Structure 1
Amino acid sequence: MDFKTLKTFQMIVKYGSFARAAKEMNYVQSTVTMQIQKLELDLGVQLIERGHGKEFRLTEAGRLFHDQSMQIVKNMEQIQTSLSNLQLGETGHIRIGVTEPTGSYRLPGILKEFMSMYPNIRISLEYANTPTLTERILSGELDFSLCSAPDIGNDLYFEPLFQEEFVALMPEDHPLTLKAVLAPEDIRGYRLLITAETCPYRRRLEMVMQETGNLSLDTMEIGSMTALKFFVENGLGIALIPKIIAEPAAAGTTIRTISGKLIYMTFGILCKASAYPLQLASQKLYQYLKLHLSEQSTL
């Protein structure tokens, strides 16, 4: 007893005709007849009583078999559709890692459009910094991530997509508002709000500050990149943050551009080198993100 035979039996009952069932299944009628004969032989019961001409009726066993096999046929059809969609990349579960501010400021709108196009694709998001996401990718817990460039080495593939522009955000009465453009050395002597020690941007910030001779700074560590602006609003210091977070400037704060190496930081898509190019649904989402994120900035 196989799925095709079950479906043939259901079609015969549905249309009340061996000939119509054969047409719908794209079989010759003799094939349908042989399938039903074999099905009855396998089950050891008669399912259909043939009358004169094309007439037939279901036996009691036939009615029972019809009722209980109907859901089996529906389930198998659903499985076939799901497997077909999987091969086309139109179903599946994708696990993505993402850093801020992309996760909160760019991704929701893009994913809304993508998921309306592919409603059978399920997406899970994990928010973390680049080092943590790198470990999760290497361990196989994430399919890919949207983050800054990882440390050189490891089994990783990184494709740059856009440059995150950073600006200085400060209280509107801060002395540095007198300058139209800030250089890294201008920050000396003022409290700088910084992200966690593991944040790649903070590491870069500290490296640039060392190059300019600013080895010791008055800093206050805030564990969230997106939270920095709220601490600036309350006059706790200045922060160098992505422009997309800073704009529009909240009441009581002012934005200034930054010169030198702190202007941009490259962000892109990170995955295992051995997993690239990605497959099925992950590849569809990868290409969609690549298109829409790269539109937002040029490298």
Structure 2
Amino acid sequence: MEEWQQLKENLEETRAEVSGKVHIGASHIPGEYLLPYTLGMFQKENPKISFKLSIGDSSGMAERVLSQDVDFAVIGSNINTDKLESVFWRPDQIKLVLPVDHPLNLLKVIEAQDLRDYAMVLRENGSGHRRAIEEALLKLNLHLDDFTVSLEADSTETVKNAIRSRLGYSFISINAMQPPDETLVARDVRGLKITRGFYLITRRDKVLSRPARLCYEFLKN
């Protein structure tokens, strides 16, 4: 506790004089829906610090941290290796999302087996979002090969537009469903709970610049 208080005091003392640019990598949900707001709060207190935000899938962002192409990353996978350190940031929940007039929405209770009768839209391979869905389905002895996939997309907004266009249902983070969309509905599936975390990823041997360290500690704490 004393060490944290000392760190906080040191950060307060240096905050006004810190300037520079921080390059952050992010997977799609934190990069598109969470970080802009959080970085806005940070910049109000640190007006001389600016950002570059690069967005891609979780695996790709981890690789960019490893290659030191970004200062650190916020992704939807917990990747702890001998070279990368992963620190929990915040939780996420993923729910079934479909058009309001989809036949599944007529069911009072949706079973996982019901999903096999209709087309699904998915995120691309390498996405932490897709990995979370695969792991949840496996707990019910279901595999993505058991489903009809009509489209694979590399962004959440593309997935949402595909659902609106009746290409199928999908599973989407509740963070991506704000503000509410009257054309889409989020439903529970009995026995299928999809949760995951977002994580701050850094290279273990990398010394962050003062602006990057200040931003990292703001997000971490």
Counterpart position of 1:101:
29
- Aligned residue in 2 for 1:134: 62
Deviation at 1:248, TM superposition (A): 4.3
> Structure 1 residues 279, 176: CA separation in 2 closer, same or farther (over 3 Å shift)?
same
Q: 2-side partners of 1:287 and 1:151: how far apart?
A: 19
Distance 1:102 1:182, change over 3 A: farther
Name 1:158's counterpart in structure 2. 86
Q: Which has the higher helix share?
A: 1
Greater radius of gyration (CA): 1
Deviation at 1:124, TM superposition (A): 1.2
| SS at structure 1 position matched to 2:93 | strand
Name the counterpart of 2:77.
149
Asked whether the 8 Å contact 1:192–1:237 carries over to 2, the reply is yes
Say whether 1:281 aligns with 2:211: yes
Deviation of 1:152 (Å): 4.7
Equivalent residue pairs, number:
206
In structure 2, runs of 5+ residues without a counterpart are: 1-12
SS of the residue 1:274 aligns to: coil
For residue 10 of structure 2, what is the aligned residue in structure 1?
A: none
Gaps in structure 1 of 5+ consecutive residues? 1-84, 292-299
Matched, 1:245 2:176: yes
Q: Which has the higher contact order (CA 8 A, sep 6+)?
A: 2
Q: How does 1:1-299 map to 2 (within 5 A)?
A: 90-179=18-107, 182-215=110-143, 216-219=146-149, 220-260=151-191, 262-275=193-206, 278=208, 280-291=210-221
Letter aligned with residue 245 of structure 1? A
Partner of 2:6: none
Give the TM-score normalised by structure 1: 0.61
Contact 2:74 2:200 in 1 (8 A): yes
User: For residues 167-220 of structure 1, what are the alpha-carbon distances to aligned partners after superposition, in whole Å with 9 as ceiling and x for unaligned?
Assistant: 111111222213456453331121111011221221332343344343421012
Distance 1:229 1:260 in 2: 24
- CA distance in structure 1 between the aligned counterparts of 2:142 and 2:41, rounded to whole angstroms: 45
Counterpart Cα distance in 1 of 2:110 and 2:194: 10
The normalised TM-score by structure 2 is 0.81
Deviations 1:228-251 (A, max 9, x none): 111111211111000121244423
Q: Which one-letter code corresponds to 2:122 in the other structure?
A: I
**Greater mean deviation of Cα atoms: 179-188 or 216-225:** 179-188
Letter in structure 2 aligned against 1:286: Y
* Alpha-carbon distance in structure 1 between the residues aligned to 2:123 and 2:175: 16
Q: 1:274 to 1:188 in 2, by over 3 A?
A: same
How far did residue 88 of structure 1 move? 7.6
Contact residue 79 and residue 86 of structure 2 kept, 8 A: no
> Any idea what SS the aligned residue of 2:166 has?
coil
- State the alpha-carbon separation in 2 of the partners of residues 180 and 271 from structure 1: 45
Percent identity, aligned pairs only?
23
State the superposition RMSD in angstroms.
2.6
CA 1:158–1:119 in structure 2 vs 1: closer, same or farther (change >3 Å)?
Answer: same
